[in-house]
Structure 1
Amino acid sequence: MITCRTVASSLVGEGRIRLDDPIERWLPGVVTGNGNDGRYVSVRQLLQHTSGLYDATGDLAAPRSADEFLAHRFDHYTEAQQVATAMRHAPLFVAGRTPTGTGSSCPEGRHDRLQSHGDGLGWRPGQHPHRPVPLLAGGRPRSAPAARTGG
């Protein structure tokens, strides 16, 4: 999440994108359907969590037992799957106009999901010319950790 913001800030500084550009300009056809329209959601709104886009994690079932948690704790949904899930829902509110008292509609991960579609920006993780922030360089786990052996 911070990595995406950092990269977006770098791209803005380089003049490659503008914060007020519509998402549709850079991710054509990604934010569409059920009232979602990337022409009316800006890069700024996406990064500030004021896009109104549905949070796909709302469709995930909560584990009902410890065994269910253990069985599914490393389930993985691709960014494309998460964006597709979000697009099956109407926006939560008009982009830029958050409901009173909430300030935002999404957890920190939504723009990470959309960044996976970011070929139009000419950026892919690990390919930006700027050095990564050391604490974030390792990324987040994508699968179950390797089994520990010994001691």
Structure 2
Amino acid sequence: MPILRALLAAPLVLALLGLGTVPLPSEPHLTPAAAHLPRLVADGGAPTAALLARRTSSAPYDTYRSTGTGIRRADHFRAGSITKTFVATVVLQLVRERKLRLSDTVQRLLPGLVRGNGNDGRRITLRALLSHTSGLYDYTADLSAHPLSATAAVHVALAHRPTDAPGHYAYSNTNYAVLGLVVRRVTGHGYATEIRDRIITPLRLTGTSLPGARTTLPSPHGRGYTRDPADGHLRDVTALDPRTAGAAGELISTLDDLNRFYAALLGGRLLAPAQLKVLLNTRATHGVYGLGVYPQKLSCGVTVWGHNGHIAGGYVRTAATRDGGHTLTFRVDTDTLADSEALEATLLEAEFCDRPQNSRSS
């Protein structure tokens, strides 16, 4: 799994014990991952956690579970870097329409934007931006900077030398800040408009939005917490300025919408076969990352695709089978989750490798 830097965690950051798993009365099916959900609270230190699992074939089910209080299936939450999959989808649609080519350089599309201090837009292609092989410094790693626009974020990155030569994988939110500018340059509209028109509206993702400068979450929503490094206490960071995240992580969504989006994407409803193949191509990163999505191979041989989102006040992860027929999204209401990789792996292994405890559809 790639190491993904938290968006807004530094400027706005960095446990309460849950009350047990709360099933919906209408859902007799216990999805395999549900039994492990309480560990996100008991072992991970999250105040609350929730998951939504959906399978459309071979004993289908659609099951929601939560642990703790104050978290609901319909809640809106910040999805962080899952935004990148939406942006990558738009870019690949523009490639299909021949408005862009993956071999286009940043210099060609945005003349003069990326240059200086060892950075050279003539050597960075769209494919490199999408796959995090550009070498551009991650602007969110500069804890002294709080850029409120994509151009400002790029300028923060350019104050640093590249983290690596182009062609080597190094996750950087700057790549998607640049891609947001590319979308505007080519379409005449901001990436938020293109995502709305090309993805949100056609898929009827009624709980998904890109807030721009809006600091509040739509209703209904819970709270988001970060742990103060000075005293260890949880601090409410529900309201925040998402412009620092921008095209790298400003998305707001719901459990249902994220499952629906990844099922549609991997099921071929948003991209033509050629572009979907490119989306899932991980050769440039030696199997670590595709173009806005990444694979995770499980012990049973199943590989799931998706992305995670880590932003101040929350963490979310969506994973799906290659055909999109089986999806899982889980979330916690804090950006600080102890032993997060092991706990996440446990949920994914349970959901995609174990047999369900009940084969009935909910």
- Per the normalisation by structure 2, the TM-score is 0.32
Distance 1:52 1:29 in 2: 17
2:143 to 60, 65, 84: 60
Higher mean C-alpha deviation, range 49-58 or range 130-139: 130-139
Paired position in structure 2 for 1:36: 119
Paired position in structure 2 for 1:111: 175
Structure 2 counterpart of 1:86, one-letter code:
A
Q: Which has the higher strand share?
A: 2
Shift of 1:129: 9.3
Give 1 or 2 for the bigger CA radius of gyration.
2
Shift of 1:23: 1.2
Contact 2:147 2:153 in 1 (8 A): no
In the superposition, relative to structure 1, how do residues 5 and 53 fare at CA in structure 2: closer, same or farther (>3 Å)? same
Shift of 1:143: 4.1
Paired position in structure 2 for 1:131: 198
Shift of 1:15: 1.1
Shift of 1:93: 1.1
Distance 1:12 1:33 in 2: 28
Contact 2:116 2:158 in 1 (8 A): yes
Contact 1:42 1:51 in 2 (8 A): yes
Structure 1 counterpart of 2:153, one-letter code:
Q
In the superposition, relative to structure 1, how do residues 135 and 36 fare at CA in structure 2: closer, same or farther (>3 Å)? farther
Which ranges of 4 or more aligned residues in structure 1 deviate by more than 3 Å? 127-130, 140-143
Unaligned runs of 5+ in 1: 62-74
Shift of 1:136: 8.0
1:121 to 177, 186, 200: 186
User: What SS class does the counterpart of residue 53 from structure 1 fall into?
Assistant: coil
Paired position in structure 2 for 1:82: 153
**2:162 is aligned with 1:91:** yes
Structure 2 counterpart of 1:33, one-letter code:
G
In the superposition, relative to structure 1, how do residues 60 and 135 fare at CA in structure 2: closer, same or farther (>3 Å)? farther
Distance 2:215 2:185 in 1: 31
Distance 2:207 2:175 in 1: 16
Contact 2:105 2:124 in 1 (8 A): yes
Paired position in structure 2 for 1:7: 90
Contact 1:54 1:89 in 2 (8 A): yes
Distance 2:149 2:120 in 1: 21
Structure 1 counterpart of 2:177, one-letter code:
R
Contact 1:54 1:91 in 2 (8 A): yes
Paired position in structure 2 for 1:16: 99
In the superposition, relative to structure 1, how do residues 104 and 76 fare at CA in structure 2: closer, same or farther (>3 Å)? closer
In the superposition, relative to structure 1, how do residues 105 and 40 fare at CA in structure 2: closer, same or farther (>3 Å)? same
Distance 1:60 1:105 in 2: 17
Paired position in structure 1 for 2:133: 50
When the two chains are superposed, the root-mean-square deviation of aligned CA atoms in Å is 2.9
Contact 1:23 1:38 in 2 (8 A): yes
Contact 1:4 1:111 in 2 (8 A): no
Paired position in structure 2 for 1:71: none
Contact 2:139 2:157 in 1 (8 A): yes
In the superposition, relative to structure 1, how do residues 95 and 76 fare at CA in structure 2: closer, same or farther (>3 Å)? closer
